[in-house]
Structure 1
Amino acid sequence: MEMYTCLMHSKYQGKNSYSVQSLSEHDMLLIKEWRNAQMDVLRQNRVLTDEDQMRYYQQVVEPSYTDNETKIILVSFLKDEQLIGYGGLTNIDWIAKRAEISFLVDPTRTLHPAQYKQDFLQFLDLMCTIAFCELQFNRLFTETYDIRPLHISILEQFGFRLEGRMKQHIYIRGEFVDSLLHGYLKEYWKDEK
């Protein structure tokens, strides 16, 4: 298993049999299927091919493992040791000590709101542990298209605060949609722990 040189571990164990580990090359083709099935919620405007996905892994993900100031830390998200999603910390700014949270699960899990909520809350907890306890970051943020009320409500339940709305920022299914920005500071994490 690959390991990010900027992290102390290649795998992090959460509660309720959830864990994250460095993104595995053998997970990439399944992740490609999930991405293609959920393009409306991603910054992705075309269907990915196997070649696209493997090229991304080889040219972007693999080199990030040995870069002490990588712009991305991507992880496979597991439940009971089975891959259920992926995501991580992206758009990392090491000087400002901030990162954007990326998260995507198997689309069948999104059909069950209670399950999706549990998955997403556990993932956020793991990302905060890595970002605030290990990397000593100060801030995490997200951008969510305003077609995802459940996703937004989970972010806010966790403690992310709405910081802005970009009006008609993205074009989805024939209409312009707002994009919501949420932020979460290390001090919120300290207050909760």
Structure 2
Amino acid sequence: MSSSPARYACLPRPRLEENGVWIETIQPGDIESIRLWRNAQLEVLRQPAPITPEQQQAYFAAQIWPTLALAQPCNILVSYHAGERLIGYGGLVHIAWEHKRAEISFLLDPAELAPKEHYAMRFKAFLGLMKTLAFKDLGLNRLFTETYALRPDHIAVLESAGFVREGVMRQHVRINGVGVDSLLHGCLCSDQTHGEPQ
């Protein structure tokens, strides 16, 4: 990686901002914080075990940094900021360019999880930025999510942000020895209007 800021070549603008929060291409300096956040929230992620610093570096070196120059990367990871503070990350993953769809990934710093109204505000703002990125900037048609049923507050935010519950995969995962459903939500470009962050 060069010393200049990392940037996906496919993104028409380096930064999307709205109401004091903004996203940009994930930066090398972000990934250790992200590793710690992921390890602290394994129960809500499709990650079976903690990640070491070496594993995190190796993943980004092999799977993320080489894709920045691609016209159609399979993942677009962004860091999420409030003012100048890194508060989370996520992006568009498993992008199927030929079908114009992507899954939304999202994770906040554990310090941002409470109270639940604060989490809801942060998540809803991120979803708005993702809609602008996907539908306006990249020309995608469909966004979708998979959420474990043990996250009712997260699911409520998705539905309040215009994501339609499309199905339930019953006892799709086992968490602490218990079968947990996964809920699928989707949003189409045509479902609603979306603002234009600066």
Instruction: Please indicate, yes or no, whether the TM-score normalized by the shorter chain is above 0.5.
Output: yes
Greater CA deviation, 56-65 or 127-136? 56-65
1:6 Cα deviation after fit: 0.9
* SS of residue matched to 1:95: helix
Counterpart position of 2:143: 140
TM alignment of 1:54-93, pairs within 5 A? 54-93=57-96
1:189 Cα deviation after fit: 2.8
1:166 aligns with 2:169: yes
Distance 1:112 1:27 in 2: 24
TM alignment of 1:19-34, pairs within 5 A? 19-34=22-37
Distance 1:60 1:81 in 2: 27
Distance 1:150 1:96 in 2: 30
1:3/1:9 contact within 8 Å kept: no
Aligned sequence identity (%) = 44
TM-score of the superposition, structure 2-length normalised?
Answer: 0.94
Residue ranges of structure 2 left out of the alignment (5+ in a row)? none
Counterpart position of 1:186: 189
1:128/1:189 contact within 8 Å kept: no
The residue type equivalent to 1:128 in the other structure is K
Q: Alignment length, in residue pairs?
A: 191
1:111 Cα deviation after fit: 2.3
The residue type equivalent to 1:140 in the other structure is L
Distance 2:25 2:103 in 1: 17
Distance 1:122 1:135 in 2: 19
Counterpart position of 2:53: 50
TM-score of the superposition, structure 1-length normalised?
Answer: 0.96
Distance 1:158 1:38 in 2: 23
1:71/1:90 contact within 8 Å kept: yes
The residue type equivalent to 2:185 in the other structure is H
The residue type equivalent to 2:9 in the other structure is T
1:173 Cα deviation after fit: 1.2
Select the residue among 5, 8, 14 that pairs with 1:4.
Answer: 8
1:47 Cα deviation after fit: 0.6
Distance 1:30 1:52 in 2: 14
Counterpart position of 1:154: 157
Distance 1:9 1:60 in 2: 22
Residue ranges of structure 1 left out of the alignment (5+ in a row)? none
1:59 Cα deviation after fit: 0.9
Please, what is the CA RMSD of the aligned residues? Answer: 0.9
